[in-house]
Amino acid sequence: MQNTRIYQNIFNKIQDDIKAGVYKIGSKLPPERDLALQLGVSLTSVREAMIALEVNGIVEVKLGSGVYVINDHQDAANPQTGFNTTVHPLLLPYLQEDAVIRPSKYWKRDC
């Protein structure tokens, strides 16, 4: 059995909703607090999922405006996890062998 983190489950749920047409390209996602309540998860988990969606090119975060759907799929996805496994160049200095990178560890957003 493969263990997944909560934010990965949220990522998959939102991506499935986008593919199903619940959220269309160009539309704004509900606020993070609303998503956390709807899904019964923490705000931190939703924020990590939003970061993963943004890194994978599925949404665009516009500070002060919201999160918008820009794509219904990610490029170069890993078939096992569904995540884009291409490492962003800004993260390369932080990588170490066997290191686990969590999105919230390196991402600071003004809320």
Q: Residue 68: its pLDDT value, please?
A: 95
Assign 37 to helix, strand or coil. helix
Please say if the pLDDT value at position 88 is more than 70.
Answer: no
Q: Is 87 left (phi over 0), alpha (psi -120 to 50) or beta?
A: beta
Q: Which residue has the higher pLDDT, 72 or 69?
A: 69
* Helices 43-55 + 6-20 axis angle, to 10: 60
Closest CA to 83 of 91, 73, 93: 73
Summarised one tens digit per residue, pLDDT across range 44-66 is 999 999 999 998 889 999 989 99
